[in-house]
Amino acid sequence: MPAPKVADVDEFFARLGDVQRPHLGTLRGLSLEAAAGSGVVEELKWNFPAYTKQQMLWMLQGFKHHCSVRFPVSFFAPYRDEASAAGYEAIEGALKIRWDQDVPEALIGRLLAARIDDFEAGNTAWSVPGQHSGKKK
């Protein structure tokens, strides 16, 4: 069953449960810190907080057993091994953080800053043809 539709980002965070709130609150803080002064704004996309500058740069997601930071697949691909080596599940385009894991703040901070730089360098597309290999890493 899909989550109930929320009106805005503040309502999204207000509706979080006690298990979800610390992780997603930390991710929100890191996102707002990275976005400060860059022109990136926080808004709601597909019922999740997204960070955009005319187009989406990244999104925060919350699920039953984990949260994630979702990026364009082509951007996140070079970081998957680093995330996995740190003990996190790295799927195509997303870093998954289980509720029983700490938020990897330094890694997330680097990813967000790198994504803003990547976007400013002209890599604005969220997806590109053929980006999905069809294989899980």
The amino acid at 104: P
Q: How far apart are CA 59 and CA 72, in angstroms?
A: 10
CATH number of the domain within which 54 lies = 3.90.1150.200
Q: Is residue 131 part of a domain?
A: no
Give me the phi and psi of 96, to 5 degrees please: -95, 135
C-alpha to C-alpha distances, 2 to 63, 88, 126, nearest whole angstrom: 10, 25, 23
Number of domains, the chain = 1
**Predicted local confidence at residue 137, as pLDDT:** 38
- pLDDT tens digits, residue range 52-106? 998 999 999 999 999 999 999 999 999 999 999 999 999 999 999 999 999 999 9
Find, among 37, 49, 50, 58, the residue nearest to 123 by Cα: 58
Q: How far is CA 109 from CA 7, 23, 115, in A?
A: 27, 14, 10
Q: What is the structure's pLDDT at 126?
A: 82
Q: What is the phi/psi pair of residue 93, to 5°?
A: 85, 5
- Sort 5 into a burial class: Cβ within 10 Å, 0-12 / 13-18 / 19+: exposed
Least confident span in 12-16, 29-33, 123-127 = 123-127
What is the domain extent for residue 55? 9-119
124 domain residue, yes or no:
no
Question: Residue 7 has what DSSP assignment?
Answer: S
Structure confidence by residue, pLDDT tens digits, 20-39: 999 999 999 999 999 999 99
